[in-house]
A and B are shown apart, each in its own frame.
Chain A
C-alpha cells in the first residue's frame, strides 16, 4: 500500500496539541499518565505544540501541580461528583465533549483495563482511529503521529488519517520525566453536564483483592520469568525456588499463561504487563517480540536457554546457553550457599 492512500489530503490545521488522559483513582494519579506526559513532551516539542493533561474527578485540583511538575503545559480540569469514580459512560462523555471543543491532534490514554475500554468507545464516538498498546511514538515529516508496536515477528509503524490520532500505551513503557516543581501549568476549568441517567453501567460494589507478592510483577525490583521450556506447571516450582533465593516476583510468557501454568496477571509482554526491574531472569523463554517489548527496559537481563539461536540470548546482558534443568538447580544451590 502506498503512503498516499494512508494520507488523504485533509486539512488538519484546526487540530492542535498533544493530550494525555491523566487517570486517577481515589484522588491519586496513576503512574501511566505521568509516563505518557514524558513521551507527550517529546512529541509536543517536536510539533511545537502544547502538552495538555486532562484530569477528570471530584476534588482533584491539587493533582494539577503534579501534572505540571511532570511536563504538562496546561491542565484541563473537570470536577463533577459523577466523575469521582470511573464509569465508562461518564468518562467517555466528558472526554468526547472536551475533544470536540478543543480539537487536539493527538490523544494518548494509558493502557490500563479502564483505559483499554474507554479509549475505543471514545474513538468510535469521535469517528477517529485508534492503535492499542503502542511501545513507542514519533512524529514524521508531515507532522503525523507514528505509532509503533509489535506485529508478528516484526515491529510496525501505524498512521492515522483522522483526528485526533488516538493511541494507548501500557504502564512502564515510558520513563517519567524528573519532576520539576517550579513548572506551573495553566489550569483550565471546564464544566461537563452529566446526569445520573446517562450512566448506564452502574457500579454496585468493588471487591478489592490483595495481591499475592509473587504476582506483584509491575513493582518488583527483581523478576524470575519462565517460558514454555519449563515443560509443565509442576516444574515452575524451580522458578519459584529461584525467585525465593533472589527475592524476586514470578512472571512468564503468554504461552505459559495460556496453559494455566501461571495466572494471567503474571504475564509479561504485549498483552500482559510491561516491567522494567533491576534484574530479569528469563528461563526457557524464546524471546519473541511480543514478549520482549514487555521487558526490554530491564537493567540487567539474564537468559537461560538451550538453543544458542534463541532471540532472547541476542538481547540478554548475560546469556547462558544450556539446559535449564541443569543450570537452575545449580544456580539455586550456589546462591543459597553464598547467602549462608
Chain B
C-alpha cells in the first residue's frame, strides 16, 4: 500500500565536547574547548536514527538542523552519512552566547519557514543537560510535545503519533496530532554506524549555512543579548572536610573502617 502521506522530519542536533569535566575560563565563564574533541550529542544521534527509520517506513525526508559555529559541519556530515537528506547550520557571531530560550528562538525562526510533520530533539545535550530546547521550541512553534520518548508509531492516515514515553510511575502511552515535537531517550533505538558509501554520499548532500541577516527575525532575541539568563560568577564547589583518611595495609584498613562504621550506628 502506498502511504497517503510521507513525512517531513526535522532533527535538531548539537555538537558537544566529548569530555564531561570541562575546565572553565574564569574570566569569560565559558568552557575551555581548546584541544577537546567534539562529538555529536548521543541523544541527538538517536533522534537522527529515529528520523531515518521513520522515513524508511513512511517515505519522506530528514533534515538535520543545528545552531553552532562553522565546525558544527562535522556533526552535520555525520548525520548525512548515517542517512539524513539535508543539513542546515545556523551560524553567526550574533547567535553566540545564547541560553536555551535564545537557542530555541533561533531554531524556531528557521523551522517556521519549513514544512514539517515531526521535529525530533534529544532528551538532553550532554554538555549542559538542560533538556529545555525541545519544549521551548514546541511552544514557540505552537505544536504539541511528547518528551522522553522510548517508542514511536505513526498513524499516517489519521496523521497522529502514538508514543511510549517514560514518566516516574512507568510508561505513558500518549497520542498527539501532527505536527508534533518529540524528545527522545536512550533505548529508543541503536543508532547505525555510517557506511563507507554513506560517508562518500554525504559529501554530495546539501548543507546550507544561514546567517542572521538571511534568517531575519528580531535581532534582539539572538545570542547573549537575547538570553534572559546569564552567568554572574563561577566558584569552586564547597568541600566537606574529611573526618578520616585510612590507608596502608588493606586488612588493617578494612578493620578500622568496620570499627568506625559500627560506631556510627
Chain A residues engaging chain B, CB cutoff 8 angstroms: 1, 3, 5-6, 25, 88-89, 92, 112-114, 116-121, 123-125, 128-133, 146-147, 150-162, 200-209, 254-255, 258, 264, 270-271, 279, 288-290, 292-293, 296, 300-302, 308, 313-323, 326-327, 330-331, 334-335, 338
- Indicate if the CB atoms of A155 and B237 lie closer than 8 Å: yes
**B251 with A116: CB separation less than 8 A:** no
Closest to B255 in A: A334
Interface string of B235-250 (1 = CB under 8 A from A): 1111110111111001
Cβ–Cβ < 8 Å partners of B176 in chain A? 200-202
Q: Are B162 and A124 in contact (CB under 8 A)?
A: no
| 18 sampled A-B residue pairs with Cβ under 8 A | A117-B183, A120-B132, A120-B134, A124-B139, A124-B140, A132-B132, A153-B236, A155-B236, A156-B231, A156-B234, A157-B231, A200-B177, A202-B175, A206-B172, A296-B240, A302-B257, A318-B244, A321-B246
Given contacts A152-B22, A322-B250, contact A130 B173 (CB under 8 A): no
Closest residue on chain B to residue A150 by CB atoms: B237
- B binding-site residues for A, Cβ under 8 Å: 20-24, 28-29, 31, 42, 99-101, 104, 124, 129-140, 144-148, 162, 166-177, 180, 183, 186, 224, 227-240, 242-247, 250-251, 253-255, 257-258, 260-262, 264
CA distance A89 to B144 in the complex (A): 8
Q: What separation, in Å, do the CA atoms of A300 and B28 have in the docked complex? A: 37
B167 and A206 within 8 A (CB): yes
What is the distance, in angstroms, from A112's C-beta to the closest C-beta of chain B? 6
A194 to chain B, nearest CB (A): 15
On whether the beta carbons of B144 and A323 are closer than 8 Å, the reply is no
CA gap between A279 and B262 in the complex, in Å:
12
Q: In the complex the two chains form, is A204's CB within 8 Å of B173's CB?
A: yes
Most A CB contacts (10 A, CB to CB) among B176, B186, B231, B238 go to B231
Most buried by B among A121, A124, A316: A124
Complex-state Cα separation, A319 to B261, whole angstroms: 12
* Nearest CB in chain B: distance from A308 CB, A: 7
Q: Report the bound CA distance from A150 to B231 in whole Å.
A: 12
Shortest beta-carbon distance from B4 to chain A in Å = 22
Query: Given A117-B147, A204-B173, A292-B237, A129 and B227 touching (CB < 8 A)?
Result: yes
In the bound complex, CA of A308 to CA of B22 (Å): 21
- Cα-based distance from A201 to B149 in the complex (angstroms): 13
What's the Cα separation between A201 and B176 when bound, in Å?
5
Chain B: minimal CB distance from A75 (Å): 23
Residue pair B20, A154 in contact (C-beta under 8 Å): no
Instruction: Please state if A327 and B254 are interface contacts (CB–CB under 8 Å).
Output: yes
Tell me whether B169 and A25 are in contact (CB under 8 A): yes
- Judge whether A317 and B237 touch: CB under 8 Å: no
Assembly CA distance A3 to B233 (angstroms) = 10
- CB-CB under 8 A from B22, the residues of chain A are 152-153
Tell me whether A121 and B229 are in contact in the complex, defined as CB-CB below 8 angstroms, given that A113-B168, A201-B175, A334-B254 are known contacts: no
Q: How far is the CA of A160 from the CA of B146 in the complex (A)?
A: 27
Determine the residue in chain A with the shortest Cβ distance to B129: A271
* B250 A206 Cβ-Cβ under 8 A: no
B230 with A158: CB separation less than 8 A: yes
Q: Shortest Cβ distance from A63 into chain B, in angstroms?
A: 18
Q: A6-B232, A315-B239 are in contact. Are A323 and B250 (CB under 8 A)?
A: yes
A152 touches B244 (CB 8 A): no
Interface centre among A5, A323, A330 (most CB of B within 10 A): A330
**In contact, A202 and B174 (Cβ under 8 angstroms):** yes
Which of A125, A203, A331, A335 lies in contact with B174, CB distance below 8 A?
A: A203
Contacts of B24 in A (CB 8 A): 151-154
> A130 contacts B237, CB within 8 Å?
no
- The answer to whether A327 and B135 have CB atoms under 8 Å apart is no
**Additional A-B contact list (19), CB under 8 Å, known A1-B230, A120-B139, A264-B186:** A5-B230, A6-B232, A89-B144, A113-B168, A117-B135, A120-B100, A120-B132, A128-B228, A131-B229, A154-B234, A155-B234, A157-B233, A200-B176, A204-B175, A313-B245, A314-B239, A317-B242, A318-B242, A319-B245
Given A113-B166, A315-B240, A331-B258: A271 and B124 within 8 A (CB)? yes
Q: Distance (Å) between the CB of A96 and the closest chain B CB?
A: 10
Q: Is the CB of A130 within 8 A of B132?
A: yes
CA distance A197 to B257 in the complex (A): 62
Chain B residues with Cβ below 8 Å from A112 are 168
Residues of A near B130 (CB, < 8 A) are 120, 132-133
Instruction: With both chains docked as a complex, state the minimum distance between the C-beta of A93 and any C-beta of chain B, in angstroms.
Output: 11
Q: With the chains together, A117 CA to B133 CA distance in Å?
A: 10
Q: Is the CB of A123 within 8 A of B168?
A: no
Shortest beta-carbon distance from B116 to chain A in Å? 16
* B145 partner, pick from A129, A160, A201, A314, beta carbons under 8 A: A201
Known: A162-B228, A318-B246. A330 touches B254 (CB 8 A): yes
Partner of B224, one of A1, A3, A313: A1
Whether A159 and B230, one on each chain, are in contact in the complex, defined by CB atoms closer than 8 angstroms, is yes
- Residues of A contacting B246 with CB < 8 Å? 318-321
Q: Complex: how many Å from CA A112 to CA B148?
A: 12
User: How far, in angstroms, from A131 to B21 measured CA to CA in the complex?
Assistant: 20
